[in-house]
A and B are shown apart, each in its own frame.
Chain A
Amino acid sequence: MIDTKAKKILSIDLSRKQSETKSFADLNTFIGGIGLGLKLYETYKEENPLIFSIGPLNGYFPFVSKTCVLVNNDGVIEDIYIGGGLSLRMRFAGIDALVIYGRSEGETVLEIQNSQVNFLPLQEKINDLGLPGKKSILTFENDKIILDGYFTTPEDFLEQNLKERKVGGIVITGTEIFKPENFLEYEKIYNEILSRSEEMSVERGNYPSCSNCPMGCGKSKVGEIGGNVLIHSLVGCQFADKIYTDIGIVFSCLNVLGYEYTHEDIENLPGLIEKTLKNLS
């Protein structure tokens, strides 16, 4: 069942090797992605967290394929976005955000399946962890973090952060199934959006594609940094801005999944984010 009333957060304490999953109804107004991530950053500020967050449409609709990563870079909170299949796996793991804090004693790999976290010693066979076809693997290759053997993030903020925490990789598997109540309408909206691929501001290519996106554009390899607040709260692709800044489409998607967001919620989002940023500075 889709929980449209609360955000489910998986927090991982590396120092104590403990994890916890909690649902927060009061985080719903932050929508997801950058909005949700910043609020969580404020909540966990003292722990200097690393946050991965998705939005309500990730996993359900085309071109909403990114994952927001919030990372502290020498006192500046950077928001970067990674493509690939991570957001889909987080959706099907049933979590809206992953909050990592503390520092591991030895080099560690986090193996996550839905809400279950295993703290494993760093091993060469990280590719053998998780369930085939249902996992994403974030690991180091030549000092660069690579997702699923291809996708990266801008700059090296994530690399530095994971190295400081002694995290050598994260494997995340999602096995949950969701069934939107009005499935026929859901399918109709899905197909309508997919048919708008000509509105993407990027050319089709022969490169690996993000999950739920047919484009194979090549630009998703390097990820994104900064940008439109609504797109990055839904955690859509920046090249899908013509589609996902269309408020009618956004509400159709949210409504068919059962979310009860209002126009005011969307209008208030930039203000909420600004307020959160002020609290953080």
Chain B
Amino acid sequence: MAKNLKATQEDKCNGCELCILESQRQLKKVGLEESLIRIFKGESENSYKVEIDPRVSVLDIEKIKSICPKEVFEITEND
């Protein structure tokens, strides 16, 4: 079964971008360009939007999930 990373607790995101930087490190790079996860400032005060490219599933998503200090992510399984 394929595993997917989902931002099920997006409202808890604090914008630290550790998930972006972790996913980039797994691709052996440091930066924001072509990241498989992107964080945007949300419309309401102090809120953020998390956008995940499905290709992130080729990475170690357990590690991405665990680096988030606010437990924003869950890993789901598809048949």
Which A positions have Cβ atoms within 8 angstroms of B? 59-60, 62, 85, 88, 92, 132-134, 148-150, 174-180, 183, 187, 190, 194, 204, 206-216
Contact = CB atoms under 8 A, between A and B. Distances in A.
Where chain B touches its partner, the secondary structure class is: loop
Given A149-B41, A208-B15, A216 B69 contact: yes
Nearest to A204: B69
Given A133-B40, A214-B16, A150 B31 contact: no
Interface string B1-44: 00000000000101111100100010011111111001111000
Nearest to B18: A214
B35 A133 contact: yes
Where chain A touches its partner, the secondary structure class is: loop
B35 A212 contact: no
Interface residues of B, number: 27
A178 B40 contact: no
14 contacts: A85-B15, A92-B31, A132-B38, A133-B39, A174-B31, A175-B33, A176-B31, A176-B33, A177-B30, A177-B31, A190-B25, A194-B67, A208-B46, A214-B16
A88 B17 contact: yes
B77 interface: no
A50 B35 CA distance: 32
Given A150-B46, A216-B16, A180 B40 contact: no
A213 to B, nearest CB: 6
B45 interface: yes
Interface in B45-71: 45-46, 48, 51, 67, 69-70
A194 to B, nearest CB: 8
Contacts of A62: 18
A60 B35 CA distance: 15
B31 A210 contact: no
A133 B13 CA distance: 14
A132 B34 CA distance: 12
Given A177-B33, A183-B28, A190-B25, A211 B41 contact: no
Contacts of B34: 177
Contact of B17 (A174, A204, A211): A211
A216 B14 contact: yes
Contacts of B31: 92, 174-178
Contacts of B40: 132-133
A114 to B, nearest CB: 10
Contacts of B25: 183, 187, 190
Contact of B14 (A92, A194, A209): A209
Contacts of B12: 206
A20 B35 CA distance: 29
B30 A133 contact: no
